[in-house]
């Protein structure tokens, strides 16, 4: 049966990046469709009526929503190559735990780093660096979060790397000095074709965030 | 190898109820340990869940699994020989995970706000809570359970709310039965299962607990 795969996405989304990477890891041909979030397409609203958000993965006309769920789905459907989740149930639970941690904590924390100023921003920076250090500590000396192989947690986190330049610029700090091992990990991931092809240039993201910041912060 | 399963929990937690139901469904013997989460978390809890310091924590042969939705999936995978929770089809699984995520991201968050807000903000929260229940009711449709004919993953994730409904009714000044009668019927149907009846506290106790908090 012909596999028709469409991804409704928004280029700077660190969540969309997860799904792009997963599809490429599995060698799945897909049609990428850019969404204008100020003018969401009827298809997006129809395929994700509950949240009305990207990314939306549409496989043979049927939608799968939420990036972590999409990555797991892709891993299960195209199970023949490059497994994303480990096969051991305990390792799987650990991988899910860390992606859940990223989902629950990272998004709000990072947002406050570029969308605030003054004391609020200082406090947000501190919190954000703590989160990165927690993740760096979990990585330890392993090449990837899951060990020797690139996997679920790496896919869950790597998209945020493209936003690091923006955090550093607006937060006025260096992530490399705070978390050198994490930067080392990110550069290692970028050597993978699936990642390099799925992540936008950091400079473009910084420019995008710069525009976005104007809506939240009066300098 | 002898299986040692310990559950660190707090009795009114809808999250803990999920894990208890899952263990009961699989016939897994486990040791239940009540945590005093408000005043005095145990050293074991802090050691086993250093990141979030929250219950429930499932400890299987000394190794912790945290986050109730992850625990339920883990239990399903380890004790895969009976009563499967998640469907085998990847698309159906993705749908089940989506609704569990919806309950987590939307209903739980809104539900929590009901206890920490008042006035206009509380009115808005109550309105949203009922709307979210209606979305879930609509997803249930005419099926006996969220997954279809069989009790499964989404039912396990959602059913803890059922024993909290009288508390929400009382403090929200609405009636979930009048607004969402199909959902109430679903709740009663689930309560007929031993695993659920054993794992949910008496709703009156929950009301008592909330009264004490307020």
**ipTM score of complex:** 0.96
Kindly tell me if the per-residue pLDDT of A119 is higher than 80. yes
Q: Does residue B125 form part of some domain? A: yes
The CATH number assigned to the domain holding B188 equals: 1.20.1050.10
Asked if residue B144 and residue B41 are part of one domain, the reply reads no
Domains in chain A, start-ordered, CATH in brackets?
5-78 (3.40.30.10), 89-216 (1.20.1050.10)
Q: Which helix (H) or strand (E) holds B66?
A: strand B63-66
Cα distance between residue A15 and residue A8, in whole Å: 11
What is the nearest CA distance from B43 to chain A, expressed in angstroms?
20
Tell me the percentage of chain A whose pLDDT exceeds 90: 96
Cβ-Cβ pairs closer than 8 A, A with B, add up to 53
| Cβ contact B94–A70 (<8 Å) | yes
Asked if residue B100 and residue B182 are part of one domain, the reply reads yes
From A14, A21, A5, select the one nearest A53 (Cα to Cα): A14
Structural tokens at position A13: 């989304």
Q: Identify any residues that bridge with A111 across adjacent strands, giving them in sequence order.
A: none
My answer on whether omega of the bond before B56 falls inside 30° of 0, hence cis, is yes
Cα distance between residue B12 and residue B17, in whole Å: 8
CB contact, 8 Å: A80 with chain B?
no
Mean pLDDT (chain A, rounded): 96
| Cβ contact B94–A100 (<8 Å) | no
pLDDT in the model for residue A218 = 79
Residues of B with CB under 8 A from a CB of A: 51, 60, 63, 65-67, 69-71, 73-74, 77-78, 90-91, 93-94, 97-98, 101-102, 135
What is the nearest CA distance from A76 to chain B, expressed in angstroms?
6
pLDDT in the model for residue A1 = 53
Give the pLDDT band (50/70/90) at residue A62: very high
* CA contacts within 13 A on the Cβ side of A148: 0
Asked if residue B129 and residue B54 are part of one domain, the reply reads no
- Give the mean model confidence (pLDDT) for residues A90-112: 96
Distances (CA, A) of A80 to A26, A167, B19: 8, 38, 32
Q: Does residue B85 form part of some domain? A: no
Kindly tell me if the per-residue pLDDT of A183 is higher than 80. yes
Residue B204 · residue B167 · CB < 8 Å: no
What is the nearest CA distance from B119 to chain A, expressed in angstroms?
27
Give the pLDDT band (50/70/90) at residue B3: confident
Q: Among A77, A84, A89, pick the best mutation site for testing chain B contact (most B Cβ within 10 A).
A: A89
From A50, A72, A148, select the one nearest B131 (Cα to Cα): A50
Question: Each residue of B127-170: pLDDT tens digit?
Answer: 999 999 999 999 999 999 999 999 999 999 999 999 999 999 99
pLDDT in the model for residue B1 = 56
**A40 phi/psi in degrees, rounded to 5:** -65, 140
Kindly tell me if the per-residue pLDDT of A219 is higher than 80. no
Kindly tell me if the per-residue pLDDT of A182 is higher than 60. yes
Question: Each residue of A130-166: pLDDT tens digit?
Answer: 999 999 999 999 999 999 999 999 999 999 999 999 9
Q: Does residue B84 form part of some domain? A: no
pLDDT in the model for residue A49 = 97
Asked if residue B56 and residue B160 are part of one domain, the reply reads no
The CATH number assigned to the domain holding B34 equals: 3.40.30.10
Cα distance between residue B143 and residue B72, in whole Å: 22
Asked if residue B160 and residue B71 are part of one domain, the reply reads no
Task: Give the sheet arrangement for strand A5-9, strand by strand.
Answer: A31-34, A5-9, A56-59, A62-65
Asked if residue B121 and residue B65 are part of one domain, the reply reads no
Domains held by chain B: number: 2
With a CB cutoff of 8 Å and minimum separation 6, the contacts of A218 are: none
Q: Which helix (H) or strand (E) holds B144?
A: none
Q: Which residue of B has its CA nearest to A105?
A: B52
Tell me the percentage of chain A whose pLDDT exceeds 70: 100
Cβ-count burial B96-129 (b if 16+ within 10 Å, e if not): bbbbbbbbbebbbebbebbeeeeeeebeebbebb
Kindly tell me if the per-residue pLDDT of A74 is higher than 70. yes
Question: Each residue of A127-136: pLDDT tens digit?
Answer: 999 999 999 9
Q: Among B48, B49, B90, pick the best mutation site for testing chain A contact (most A Cβ within 10 A).
A: B90
CA-CA-CA-CA dihedral for B63, B67, B69, B70, to nearest 10 = -40
Please report residues of A whose CB lies closer than 8 A to that of B86: none
Question: Each residue of A3-21: pLDDT tens digit?
Answer: 899 999 999 999 999 999 9
What is the nearest CA distance from B26 to chain A, expressed in angstroms?
16
What domain range includes position B157? 90-213
């Amino acid at each position: 049966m012909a596999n028709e795969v469409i991804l409704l996405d928004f280029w700077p989304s660190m969540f969309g990046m997860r799904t792009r990477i997963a599809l490429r890891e599995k060698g799945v041909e897909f049609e990428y469709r850019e969404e204008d979030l100020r003018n969401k397409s009827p298809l997006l609203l129809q395929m994700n009526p509950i949240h009305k958000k990207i990314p939306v993965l549409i496989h043979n006309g049927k939608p799968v929503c939420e990036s972590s769920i999409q990555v797991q789905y892709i891993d299960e459907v195209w199970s023949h190559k490059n497994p994303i989740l480990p096969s051991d149930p305990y390792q799987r639970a650990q991988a899910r735990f860390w992606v859940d941690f990223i989902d629950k904590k990272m998004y709000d924390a990072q947002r406050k780093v570029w969308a605030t100023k003054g004391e609020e921003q200082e406090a947000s920076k501190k919190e954000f660096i703590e989160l990165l250090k927690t993740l760096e500590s979990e990585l330890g000396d392993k090449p990837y979060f899951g060990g020797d192989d690139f996997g679920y947690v790496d896919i869950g986190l790597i998209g945020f790397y493209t936003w690091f330049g923006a955090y550093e610029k607006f937060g006025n700090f260096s992530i490399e000095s705070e978390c050198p091992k994490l930067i080392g990990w990110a550069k290692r991931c970028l050597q993978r074709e699936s990642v390099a092809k799925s992540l936008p240039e950091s400079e473009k993201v910084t420019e995008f965030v710069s525009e976005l910041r104007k809506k939240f912060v009066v300098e | 190898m002898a299986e040692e399963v310990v559950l660190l929990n707090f009795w009114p937690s809808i999250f803990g109820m999920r894990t208890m139901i899952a263990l009961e469904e699989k016939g897994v013997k486990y040791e239940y340990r009540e945590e005093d989460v408000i005043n005095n978390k145990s050293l074991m809890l802090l050691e086993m869940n250093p990141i979030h310091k929250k219950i429930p924590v499932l400890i299987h042969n000394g190794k912790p699994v945290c986050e109730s939705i992850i625990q339920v999936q883990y239990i399903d995978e380890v004790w895969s020989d009976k009563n499967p929770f998640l469907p085998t089809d990847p698309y159906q699984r993705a749908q089940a995970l989506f609704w569990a995520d919806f309950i987590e991201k939307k209903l739980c968050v809104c539900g929590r706000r009901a206890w920490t807000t008042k006035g206009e903000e509380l009115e808005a929260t109550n309105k949203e809570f009922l709307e979210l229940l209606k979305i879930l009711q609509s997803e249930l449709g005419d099926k006996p359970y969220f997954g279809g004919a069989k009790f499964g993953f989404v039912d396990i994730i959602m059913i803890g709310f059922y024993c909290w409904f009288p508390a929400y009714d009382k403090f929200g000044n609405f009636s979930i039965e009048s607004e969402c009668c199909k959902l109430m019927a679903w709740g009663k149907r689930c309560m007929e299962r031993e695993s659920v009846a054993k794992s949910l506290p008496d709703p009156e106790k929950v009301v008592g607990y909330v009264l004490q908090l307020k």
